[in-house]
Amino acid sequence: MIALIQRVTEARVDIDGRLFCSIGRGILALIGVERGDTEAQAERLVERVLGYRIFPDAEGKMNLSLLDIKGELLAVPQFTLVADTKKGTRPGFSSAAAPDDGKRLFDFFVAKAVQNVKVKSGQFGADMKVSLVNDGPVTFWLQTSAHP
């Protein structure tokens, strides 16, 4: 599984021209599910996203996690993260999980995260408009994989 995480001061998802959900200070996590991913990878990704130290401490160093600051998480499913872009001019999606598996593991990710922080999530399969104020900017790619 893949998470592209961004430290934000605010983020929101609109669907059909209406606000679907929003958060204040925290992390926007775009989540991609690869074929062969399991609940173990999802659980590990939750641990990494919530525990990744990307927020400044009193000295301005990135030393605090989302858990430490009691921030919010906006999880958005994004299958394009798993695209193969190594050649050509069109992405390939053969490594993406089947939609049913992707939804199941995205929902599992959200269910695990909500046990520890305030979570909002986008809608799997919807045409979403995602807006954010990236704080820094600070953006990281996190990946857990059963594949070597």
pLDDT band for position 40 (cuts 50, 70, 90) = very high
| Enclosing H/E stretch for 64 | strand 62-64
Calculate the alpha carbon distances from 17 to 13, 73, 121, 127, 128 in Å. Answer: 10, 22, 17, 10, 9
Among the options 6, 41, 78, 144, which is catalytic?
78
Residue 80 falls in the annotated catalytic set? yes
Closest CA to 49 of 99, 101, 103, 119: 119
Pairing of strands 55-56, 118-121: unpaired
pLDDT of res. 145: 75
Structural domains for the chain? 2-143 (3.50.80.10)
pLDDT of 4 strictly over 80: yes
Quick one: average pLDDT of 44-69?
98
Query: How far apart, in whole angstroms, are the C-alpha atoms of residue 106 and residue 112?
Result: 10
**What percent of the chain is predicted at pLDDT more than 70?**
98
Q: Tell me: the pLDDT tens digits for 82-118?
A: 999 999 999 999 999 999 999 999 999 999 999 999 9
Paired tokens of 111: 């269910």
Among the options 6, 41, 79, 108, which is catalytic?
79
Paired tokens of 94: 């053969």
Residue 140 falls in the annotated catalytic set? no
Residue 109 falls in the annotated catalytic set? no
Paired tokens of 28: 């926007």
Average pLDDT of the chain is 95
Calculate the alpha carbon distances from 73 to 14, 16, 96, 105 in Å. Answer: 16, 22, 23, 17
pLDDT of res. 143: 94
Paired tokens of 46: 């939750």
Report the Cα 79 to chain-centroid distance in Å: 11
